[in-house]
Structure 1
Amino acid sequence: MPTDPAGDARNADAVPFTFAGIGDEAGPGLTAQLTALRRLGWEGIELRTVDHVPVADLDDDAFHRVASALAEAGMRTVCVDSRIANWGRPVTGCFDDDLAELDVLARRCRDLGTRYVRVMSYPNDGLDEPAWRREVLRRMRILTDRAERYGLVLLHENCSGWAGSSAERMLTMLDEVSSPALRLLFDIGNGVPYGYSAYDMLTDIVRHVAHVHVKDADGDEHAPVYTMPGDGRARVADCLRLLLEHGYTGTVSIEPHLAVRPHEHRTDAGADGVSTFVEYGRRLERLVREDVLPRAANRPVGAVDGGRS
């Protein structure tokens, strides 16, 4: 539990959104992931990998052990982070891999009690821009049609892919696909490594955001240096305030990228991973309590197109 009771993120009167964390940013094993979240007093986990294995690739026995452990711990799964359309699956790659992963995750999300699956929008691989656009939209229509039939919502992250760093393309994708099974995941910290202003992007897409990641960073796209929330130049407090003012009541999930960075194969930080994750979460609670909430202007101005899973 947090050492400062005033920072309890479950006090709905103070904080209208829910705090959670991407578990493998605390450590590869589920024990480390649950330990970190318990210390924070949080009840939401975002699942990406367990023991270095993506959720869709866990064998059935391993997955059932994970699901049982989460249920025993009273831990709610807020989202599953897939590899669908991510940096490792270019637009010319085998589409069947993404469809197969979605089929597996449909069953596993049902067992975990979540309908949210994080996706991206396919990095290019030699196509001209019109062809890249056409193929991305074709695939996203098929994926969202299947997701809708499964009762899932695909959350597109502002990361790798055709629509990853452009609010205009994200809005085009939402309009062209036109499905309730496609919404946006906004990662506050992705603007620095990808070379754009996250806050400026958010002003254009805020009403379509259904899930939020918190990272912060200094440096630039050539050499990003990840920091505690509020210490970098991602404008974490400003972004959270903007979301709050537009009625956001979904989940805010931390992805520190400090002691542990699974995407860079930095996964064995031991106790440092858990302690850094916990410190990060407490810093975020304090930032929200001391900077975001007191300075939010006349919130909310309207409900966002999203909400809790």
Structure 2
Amino acid sequence: MIRLAGIGDEAGPSLAEQVAAVTGLGWSAIELRTVDGVAVADLTDAAFDAVAATLAEHGLDVVCVDSRIGDWSSEITDDFSHDLDELRVLAARCRALGTRYVRVMSYPNAGLPPAEWERRVRRRLRELARRAEQSDLVLLHENCAGWAAADADRMLALVDDGLGLLFDTGNGIAHGYSGVDLLAAIAPHVRHVHVKDGRSGPQWTVPGRGSADVPGALSLLAAHGYTGALSLEPHLSMRPHERDGRPGEVEGFHAAGRALEALLAVPVPARSEA
């Protein structure tokens, strides 16, 4: 069974808003990125304990924690110790939250020659994946920023290095490639999915109304037996990583969630591979 979840801070910065957004849709799973604008790894112990207690009180499972490791805010030449420290903190916090999945990316370049960029990225991610495995975690690489951001062969190389894959249906809109074509090459290795839709610009809209071909992506995932979570990241009223949007707006989140439910309720035709 596919499970529906949502990245909470897409609906509002406070945990109360995030919980209201997800439970208001009748869903029982959430993905954590920030609370009150603070990354999960940077929360004080007291703040994190309050988050975990509140989620448990509302019966919300955590399907994934989104780290900053290798993401758009970093470069491959940054101090690696910061990533090791973040993973160490998240290992304990993911255990408390009952999730094994940690989202990572693959380090934007900082002017290095391509071969050296690849060498450094893969060395770092192999080490991180090794440490994650020791803590019973799985690192999931998202098709967003870094060396393997939009290249299926590079993503599959990271699978060989011990990572899983996280597919975002809308990232191709922002970065200029066909997300469904990418998915066709990596679908057997996808372990988690973010759902958003939009048109060039980018201009974001609810799932099914943009040019990301979300129905086609859902069809491909179903054809490959995907049974993980679909985690809503609509980018409509809140885009915390871009520091815009207006706090406290859950209406757009709910509209996107209902649109996703509608897509799942209607069988979509199989996508031709021709």
Give me the TM-score of the superposition, normalised by structure 1: 0.86
Structure 2 unmatched ranges of 5 or more: none
Q: CA deviation at 1:50?
A: 0.3
The letter for the 2-side match of 1:241 is S
Structure 1 runs of 4+ aligned residues shifted over 4 Å read none
2:3 equivalent to 1:21: no
* Greater share of residues in strand: 2
Quote how far apart the aligned CAs of 1:295 are.
3.2
Amino acid at match of 1:228: V
Query: Do the aligned partners of 2:21 and 2:254 also contact (CA within 8 Å) in 1?
Result: yes
Alignment partner of 1:214 is 2:195: yes
Separation (CA, whole Å) in 2 of partners of 1:145 and 1:25: 31
1:83-130 CA distance string (max 9 Å, x none): 011111100001000000000000000000000000000000010100
Rounded to whole Å, the distance in 1 between the matches of 2:246 and 2:47 is: 20
2:86 aligned residue (101, 108, 114): 101
Uncovered stretches (5+) of structure 1, i.e. residues with no partner: 1-15, 298-309
Question: Map of 1:1-309 to 2, 5 A cutoff?
Answer: 16-175=1-160, 177=161, 179=162, 182-219=163-200, 223-270=201-248, 273-290=249-266, 293=267, 295=269
Q: State the alpha-carbon separation in 1 of the partners of residues 71 and 242 from structure 2.
A: 14
Instruction: Spell out, residue by residue over 1:252-303, the C-alpha distance to the aligned partner (whole angstroms, 9 max, x if none).
Output: 0000101111011025332xx211111110011001112xx35358xxxxxx
How far does residue 227 in structure 1 lie from its aligned partner after superposition? 1.0
Aligned length: 271
Q: Provide the alpha-carbon RMSD of the alignment.
A: 1.1
Provide, for residues 167-209 of structure 1, a one-character-per-residue CA deviation record: whole Å limited to 9, x for no partner.
011112222x1x2xx1000000000111110000001000000
- Kept in 2, the 8 Å contact 1:28–1:267? The answer is no
Deviations 1:145-180 (A, max 9, x none): 1001000000000000000110011112222x1x2x
Q: Secondary structure at the match of 1:40?
A: coil
CA contact (8 A) 1:27 1:267 kept: no
The answer as to whether partners of 2:7 and 2:31 remain within 8 angstroms in 1 is yes
Give SS of 1:27's match.
coil
